[in-house]
Structures are given as C-alpha cells and as structure tokens.
Amino acid sequence: MKKQTRNDRLDESLAARNGGRKTKSQSYKSRRAESRGMKKAMRKKK
C-alpha cells in the first residue's frame, strides 16, 4: 500500500475544512502554499 505524503495529508485537511476542489478556483498546490504561508505568518506574530 502506498504511504501518504505530506501534500496528500494537507490536501485532505484543506478539503475537509474548506470544501472540495470542485467548489474552489485555486488548485490544491496553491491552496497548500497559502496554508503554509499562513502558518508561517502566525508563528512570526507571537
């Protein structure tokens, strides 16, 4: 069985929180980048 990569887990997480890909105009790749950027920004604020 194939192991899930970090990107696969993040894609599932984003879809569960914000809806599936069909309802969004962004690709999963750009959604992952935006999510990582937000996490990075939140760490710097503290």
Burial class, 28, CB count within 10 angstroms (exposed 0-12 / middle 13-18 / buried 19+): middle
The whole-number pLDDT of residue 22 equals 61
Report yes or no: 32 and 11 within 8 Å, Cβ to Cβ.
Answer: yes
> Is the confidence at residue 21, as pLDDT, over 70?
no
Q: Residue 14 carries which side chain, given as an amino acid letter?
A: L
DSSP letter at 22 equals: G
Query: How does pLDDT run across 31-46, given as a tens digit for each residue?
Result: 888 888 888 888 876 5
Q: Which bin fits 20, alpha (ψ -120 to 50), beta or left (φ > 0)?
A: beta
